[in-house]
Structure 1
Amino acid sequence: MAESSSKDDLLQLIKRLGAYLTVKMSDFFPISTQNLDSRSVGAIAGVAVAIIFTWKLLGSSNGHQRRQPKRQTPAASSSTYNVGLNSSEPLISSGVCSSSGDLRAHNVVDEFFQPVKPTLGQIVRQKLSDGRKVTCRLLGIILEENSPEDLQKQATVRSSVLEVLLEITKYCDLYVMETVLDDESEKRVLLALEDAGVFTSDGLVKDKVLFCSMENGRASFVRQLEPDWHIDSNHDIISQLARFIKYQLHVAPIKHERAASNVYCSPSLEQFFGNI
């Protein structure tokens, strides 16, 4: 008897899952049975796994219920009262079971359709609005140092920016550039980038590390390359390029007034992509 009841409960749960799933599937996968693709088949297979998981949960729940002792119904004063009480019990039990079954079905399907957290690569592509060429200043963004004079002493790649930088190089044609005062500064920068592992088969190319002797030279590089995005920490350069470049990111610890509607601001490159 208990086994038959368990099968009935399972059948009802599957029916509720089917009804609730129809609504969910129409939101996520607008398909018809005559036009099923591999993605649709994969979704249906996933739902089947969810149903099997629910079956197991229901089985363990029923096993626990069968081990519980039966409750004794208190004796009534008349047979008429007993008949009325016994006839109402199945109705109440059925109502509670139905509500509980609907809740379980909804919970299983809702858990299955929980949104998946996007990867850093997906965030980078979304933030860059499908831009495929990016130019970026080194000082204060990729390097710890903030001035050409600092580069005459040392060059250090910021560890917190590495993951974002590598994701950009996977998806975009990246050029990095900086103003330097001597050849030794150039060597320090290239060595720092190499030691950080930026120059890989899928990473930055050494030939795309550009150097100039004046700040305006960086603006000339950017205009010649015509990138979809330029990233810089110099407000004047950002302002000069605002009408020539589609999008720009101004990286500065202190928030400045936006130079134009196509200029975005962030304290750091990694914070712009939410990677902190």
Structure 2
Amino acid sequence: MLMADSSKEEFLQLIKRLTLKISNIIDSHSIGAVAGLAIAIFFTWRLLRSPGEPQPRQRKRQTTTSSNPGVSTHSNASVVPSGVRSPSGDSRAQNVVDELFQPVKPTLGQIVRQKLNEGRKVTCRLLGVILEETSPEELQKQVTVKSTVLEVLLEITKFCDLYLMERVLDDESEKRVLVALEDAGVFTSGGLVKDKVLFCSTEIGRSSFVRQLEPDWHIDSNPEIISQLARFIKYQLHVSPFRTERTAANVFSAPSLEQFFGST
């Protein structure tokens, strides 16, 4: 009976802990986790019961009587008072609850989808966002793709129609950009093709590209372009190494594309 009372007490303590955990889950509208509560309680109860299951009764050994008839022998087994909870059972219940409700870290793909609010079309400039270079003049000498942005870029291409665009001063710069993107593996995932890398000779031309494509998101490092497009595009991300004031409710800012998605 003592063991049964102890198991019941452990189960009650488990229910209390699960209640506290599940209240947080309900607040965050995690219906799937709530639906699994019954299963969690069942298996947790099984885990708690297994160490404390009663062992088969052993035949009582006869105790030898003392030569002194006034002295009786006692068993060395300790008796646990009823109503006293086992500290080991308490700790075991807490450990099981903690393991069942370990927070699951979201994947980068999940973060990207959440941040983009399930947007399906994205336009993004190259200079200062995808490339290390920040001006068209630099592209006449070299083109360097940021290694830190590649993982995020490839995640975006998995579920978004992505267009990259930039202003260039000559055809050679255009070729350098395409070669650099290809060498970095941007076109290997199948989500982005060379035809979706657009070039123009003016900033107005780039702004016109964005308006024609009507994306859910536009990503740019030029504050003037961001300002001009704010009333036409649903969401925008202004990439700038300097802290900037929020110009509109639909305009977000971050030091880099990868930092916006928390991948660095």
| TM-score after normalising by structure 2 | 0.76
Say whether 1:199 aligns with 2:187: yes
Residues 83-98 of structure 1 aligned to structure 2 (within 5 Å): 90-91=80-81, 94-97=83-86
- The 1-side partners of 2:33 and 2:250 are apart by 37
* Equivalent AA in structure 1 for residue 84 of structure 2: G
- The 2-side partners of 1:198 and 1:49 are apart by 46
Per-residue CA deviations over 1:187-234 (Å, capped at 9, x if unaligned) read 111111111111134421211110000111110001111111110000
Q: What secondary structure does 1:224 align onto?
A: helix
Q: What secondary structure does 1:95 align onto?
A: coil
Per-residue CA deviations over 1:28-67 (Å, capped at 9, x if unaligned) read 479xxxxxx99878665555555555556x46xx9xxxxx
- The 2-side partners of 1:217 and 1:171 are apart by 27
Say whether 1:232 aligns with 2:220: yes
CA RMSD in angstroms comes to: 3.1
Match of 2:14 in 1: 17
Range 226-235 or range 12-21, more displaced: 12-21
Match of 2:118 in 1: 130
2:133 aligns with one of 141, 145, 156: 145
Q: Percent of aligned positions with the same letter in both sequences? A: 65
8 Å Cα contact 1:47/1:112 also seen in 2: no
2:93 aligns with one of 105, 109, 114: 105
Inter-CA distance 90–55: structure 2 relative to 1 (3 Å threshold)? closer
* Equivalent AA in structure 1 for residue 252 of structure 2: Y
Residues 48-127 of structure 1 aligned to structure 2 (within 5 Å): 50-51=44-45, 53-54=47-48, 58=51, 90-91=80-81, 94-97=83-86, 101-127=89-115
Deviation at 1:251, TM superposition (A): 0.4
- The 1-side partners of 2:18 and 2:6 are apart by 18
- The 2-side partners of 1:102 and 1:219 are apart by 64
1:259 aligns with one of 241, 247, 254: 247
Deviation at 1:110, TM superposition (A): 3.0
* Equivalent AA in structure 1 for residue 241 of structure 2: P
Unaligned runs of 5+ in 1: 31-36, 63-88
Say whether 1:176 aligns with 2:164: yes
- The 2-side partners of 1:26 and 1:232 are apart by 42
For this pair of structures, how many residues does the alignment match? 236
Inter-CA distance 39–104: structure 2 relative to 1 (3 Å threshold)? closer
Deviation at 1:176, TM superposition (A): 0.6
* Equivalent AA in structure 2 for residue 209 of structure 1: V
- The 2-side partners of 1:214 and 1:264 are apart by 24
- The 1-side partners of 2:192 and 2:157 are apart by 6
* Equivalent AA in structure 1 for residue 239 of structure 2: V
* Equivalent AA in structure 2 for residue 17 of structure 1: L
Match of 2:204 in 1: 216
* Equivalent AA in structure 1 for residue 238 of structure 2: H
Match of 1:188 in 2: 176
Unaligned runs of 5+ in 2: 55-78
8 Å Cα contact 2:25/2:33 also seen in 1: no
Match of 1:72 in 2: none
| TM-score after normalising by structure 1 | 0.73
Deviation at 1:257, TM superposition (A): 2.1
8 Å Cα contact 1:134/1:229 also seen in 2: yes
Deviation at 1:145, TM superposition (A): 1.0
Inter-CA distance 6–153: structure 2 relative to 1 (3 Å threshold)? farther
Say whether 1:275 aligns with 2:260: no
Per-residue CA deviations over 1:102-136 (Å, capped at 9, x if unaligned) read 45324321331122111111111111111111110
Deviation at 1:100, TM superposition (A): 5.3
* Equivalent AA in structure 2 for residue 113 of structure 1: F
